[in-house]
Amino acid sequence: MKKILSFLALPLSIFATQTAVGQSVKTDSFTVSGNCGMCKKRIEKAALIPGVTSAIWDVKAKTMTVKYDSATVKKDDVRKKIAQSGHDSGPFKATDSVYQNLPGCCRYERN
């Protein structure tokens, strides 16, 4: 009887673990300034901090969509990292020196 109960308990514990992990995965979208394919590579690379599982920036819409583990990372952490790469994202602005070091085609119009 004990063997049967432990055999049944294993799938239940695996399911419970997967459900708990799955509940902390979030998907968010936000604007990021940029112009071209080079920007896309730089922005997506900057967004892939630990805890982020997917980062896709739409060049035309200027929209970043990220999937991340909300238990380990916050959306603002991602936005700050993108700003550090030279691309403004909402309240997080790239420093002037980092922005000026972007290739000419990547220098978007700043507000």
Strands 25-31, 52-58: parallel, antiparallel or unpaired by DSSP? unpaired
What's this model's pTM, rounded to 2 decimal places?
A: 0.79
Q: Tell me the C-alpha distance between 104 and 55, whole Å.
A: 24
Q: Where are the domains of the chain?
A: 25-106
The structure tokens listed for 60 are 């035309």
User: Phi and psi of 31, rounded to 5°?
Assistant: -85, 145
Rounded mean pLDDT, 57-70: 97
Q: Is the pLDDT of residue 40 over 80?
A: yes
How would CATH label the architecture of 25-106?
Answer: 2-Layer Sandwich (3.30)
Amino acid present at 5: L
